[in-house]
Amino acid sequence: MCRCRSRYALNYREGEETFLGILPFFHIYGKVVIVLAGLVSGAKIVILPKFEPKLFLDTLQNHGVSSTSVSGQFGSVCRSAVYT
């Protein structure tokens, strides 16, 4: 826990951040980077049940998301959803 606080929480404004949880929480990256770092830094965590490009983009805007982690494919899918 201390290691997570020193590595991640120092980069965030405590209690002012909003994380978007789209990666699976059973995977170590989603668990540590979104859930654990979010809890340690006092961030609000917005969780989407599944990835849908329009919902993802709307959530970024409507909730003022300050941090999220996604794979490269997410960006390609979002770009194609915006331009079609």
Q: What is the pTM of this model?
A: 0.68
Q: H/E element holding 28?
A: helix 28-29
Per-residue pLDDT tens digits for 18-73: 888 887 778 787 788 778 888 888 889 898 888 888 888 899 899 988 887 777 77
Binning pLDDT at 50, 70 and 90, where does residue 9 land? very low
- Looking at residue 62, its pLDDT comes to 94
- Taking residue 33's Cβ as centre, other Cβ atoms within 10 Å add up to 19
Q: Which fold has domain 2-82?
A: Rossmann fold (3.40.50)
